[in-house]
Structure 1
Amino acid sequence: KLVPDALAEFIARHPRINTRFEVNNWETLGRLLARDEIEFFIADIRQFETDPNFQTRELSPRRGRFFCRAGHPLLAKDSLSTNDLFDYPLAATRLPAGVRKLLAGFSGKADFSLNVECEHMPALVQVVSQTDAVGLAMLETLALHLERGELALLDFRNLPENLDSLSARCGIVTRTGYRLSPAARALIEIIVELDGIEAEEARRSA
């Protein structure tokens, strides 16, 4: 939500500037940035903050939650454990190493791979809403579907609700030593501005 809102504001302020908006996983975006095909991107910065080739600017963290369709069999259970989670396909965007490690530990496997990996969130939500797959996504991307009753959140008793590993440490990633264009700098400042507004609204409603 943050990036489309920021892009809409940027277009309103600078209607004559051409922009390229690409949705992809953090690994692909990192390669595009390294090849100078893009100027910056937003992702979980844990993959980049220790790499000297990249610079990161932290934004507000985004909370990750497991979700499923309304009427899913898991919703009929009084109490859920992660053992129940692994009885169903898991669908999400490309997972950071820390989240894969966490899920591997709960699943009893050396490594963990998704049954469905998709970077296009509307398509991912549609898959979950039409199947018994369990999704993992940032809470803000699910808000409208939750309000409509199309999706429901899942809580697992052995998985803390506010587990840091499932929250994305979102930030802006740029290439070290690269001078951003005025347009890129302007868009970044709008992103930071809107992120601050969202964070303040979240604090007031908490």
Structure 2
Amino acid sequence: MTLIQTASNVQHNLRHLRLFLAVVDTNSVTQASALSHLSQPAVTQALAKIERSLRTTVFTRTPRGLFANAEGKALARRVRRAFDFLDPALAELSPRLKMVATTSQLEALVAVSEAGNFTLAARQLGLAQPTVHRAITQLEDEAGKPLFERTSYGIIASRAALALAQAARLAFTELVQAETDLAEARSEEKGRIVIGAMPLARSFLLPRAIAEFRKTRPKIAIRIVEGPYSDLLSGLRRGEIDFLIGALREPAPIGDVEQRFLFNDTLVVVSGSGHPLAQRQSVTINELAAYPWVVAQHGTPIRQHFDALFDDRPHQPASIVESSSLILMRELLSCTDHLGCISVRQAQAEIARGLLKALPLDLCHTARPIGLTLRVNWAPTSAQEHFISLLDDRSLPEESDH
């Protein structure tokens, strides 16, 4: 998924959006036209195009001037946030870019910086390759410097180009969010929630939160994105994912995200019901080392705790399958003598149903924080905020064992 593919009706002429803000701030087409050095008819036409594209009005027109209505205020809030991301990056390249850069040029910049190739970028955008090349050339002409280095391996974006592409992604995200806010102002349901989910969240938290959320918001689309933590974090920072759910990192991985604690979780060692250790009253670490294992990949909190179990031990597990899939673990443990190391909450439904057996090993020292990872200063829509409120484990109904 890319932001370009999720463009909203709000994401159109950037100059029109600047004129819209000028009218919001001055309550006057006359003053807005003077500030922007454009004619009053040009400002009026820009406002008409915005309202036509949104199929609604955003101003209340009175003899004293134009005043933003509820939808206009919602739009202005998101447009301001978009330009707060975009304008510093544009100004770093050239002061003129703030007034002349277009949405299509910025979309081309994002696509080329991601693809590293004009042809692939054009295909992603559904445009001809010369059109994309021309958009980049126009930006480079205004900036007075190249934005990409052409090499035999492809096209490499400059630091300033990468910064502008990131700012454009986040600005476009705000404009996509604006459409959801506008619908909310009309008491309508629109938009979607994109969640980066780590294994525990997929099997324990999310099913219950989604079920509860659907009781009051049945039409909001929900997309669950799975993958390695590094990929999910990148998607979050680009604005493609709204928030992550799973094990928190200590310290936070980078300065532009924040972590929000929900609860602590511990690990459990599990086996199939027919495993030689399944009926034992106690087991030792040395006994565990003799069996093959299914464990998470290196670099994950679970794997760090697993490896620590065998630190300074004479015997180490010799056979390991690396996977975060609960289904794979369950099926492999059911037909072999493999053992698994997994979150106790992630496995609790499988244990309750007799599909996995928790071995008698005290792992209370493996407690790890579970929570949300969000972009710093992220402004959720009403629906996103509602969903997040449901992720507090105490607010959800207890899951049945049956």
Query: Which amino acid is 1:59 matched to?
Result: L
Of 116, 120, 142, the match for 2:325: 120
2:217 aligned residue (1, 14, 25) = 14
Query: Is 1:147 the equivalent of 2:352?
Result: yes
Q: Secondary structure of 1:174's match?
A: strand
Offset of 1:86 from its aligned partner?
1.9
1:44 aligns with 2:247: yes
> Does the Cα contact within 8 Å between 1:69 and 1:129 map onto a contact in 2?
yes
SS of 2:240's partner is coil
Paired residue secondary structure (1:169): strand
Q: Compute the displacement of 1:79 (Å).
A: 4.0
Task: Determine which structure has more spread, i.e. the larger CA radius of gyration.
Answer: 2
How big is the alpha-carbon RMSD for the aligned residues of Structure 1 and Structure 2? 3.1
Which among 66, 71, 75 is matched to residue 269 of structure 2? 66
Q: How does 1:178-197 map to 2 (within 5 A)?
A: 178-192=378-392, 195-197=393-395
Q: CA deviation at 1:143?
A: 2.7
2: CA distance, partners of 1:12 / 1:41 = 23
SS in 1 for 2:352: helix
1:57-96 aligned at under 5 Å gives the runs 57-75=260-278, 79-94=282-297, 95-96=300-301
CA distance in 2, matches of 1:28, 1:113: 29
Deviations 1:91-142 (Å, cap 9, x if unpaired)? 1334326425514515569x99982232332232222222211111222233
Quick one: distance in 1 between partners of 2:254 and 2:341? Answer: 27
Q: CA deviation at 1:20?
A: 0.7
* 2:272–2:278 CA contact under 8 A, matched in 1: no
Q: Which residue of 1 aligns with 2:311?
A: 105
> 1:176 and 1:34 mapped to 2: Cα distance?
9
Q: State the AA in 1 paired with 2:214.
A: I
- Which structure carries more helix by proportion? 2
**Which one scores higher on RCO, CA 8 angstroms, separation ≥ 6?**
1
Structure 1 residues 112 and 178, CA, compared in 2 at 3 Å: closer, same or farther?
farther
Identity of aligned residues (%): 24
CA apart distance, 1:9 = 1.7
Query: Please, which runs of 5 or more residues in structure 2 have no aligned partner?
Result: 1-203
Is 1:3 aligned to 2:206, yes or no?
A: yes
Task: Mark the CA change 1:113 to 1:20 in structure 2 (over 3 Å): closer, same or farther.
Answer: farther
Task: Give the length in aligned residue pairs.
Answer: 193
Structure 1 residues 180, 104: closer, same or farther in 2, change over 3 A?
A: farther
What's the CA shift for 1:85? 1.6
Tell me: CA distance 1:104–1:79, structure 2 relative to 1, closer, same or farther (3 Å).
closer
Residues 100 and 112 in structure 1, CA contact (< 8 A), matched pair in contact too: no
TM-score (norm 1): 0.77
